[in-house]
Amino acid sequence: MVTLMHRFKHQRLPRILAIKAQVDQGRRLGEYDRVFLEEVMQDAQRNIRKVEDIPECQHMFIQLVGLYKEIIDRAIENEKRA
């Protein structure tokens, strides 16, 4: 669990926030970013059972899903404008 949290905070979250900043600026998602986001969500789905009973992890998971939705929604808008 500690390893999952560390990886999320120090590797994945910074990358997710960078992707969000890009789509917020109107840029389209690149293939590399799409694959990365897909991997993050697959990992989250695989690990949901591990975090169910830990409130801090639940909060992080909820934030991750919300952030993912924001990115995807904005990316779809950007694709429509392109």
What's the pLDDT tens digit per position in 36-57?
999 988 988 888 787 778 887 7
Binning pLDDT at 50, 70 and 90, where does residue 22 land? very high
Residues constituting the chain? 82
Distance CA 78, CA 24 (A): 9
Average pLDDT of the chain, as a whole number: 89
Q: Which helix (H) or strand (E) holds 38?
A: helix 31-51
Distance CA 63, CA 21 (A): 16
DSSP-derived 3-state class of residue 1? coil
Structure-token pair, residue 45? 């789905």
Q: What is the pTM of this model?
A: 0.86
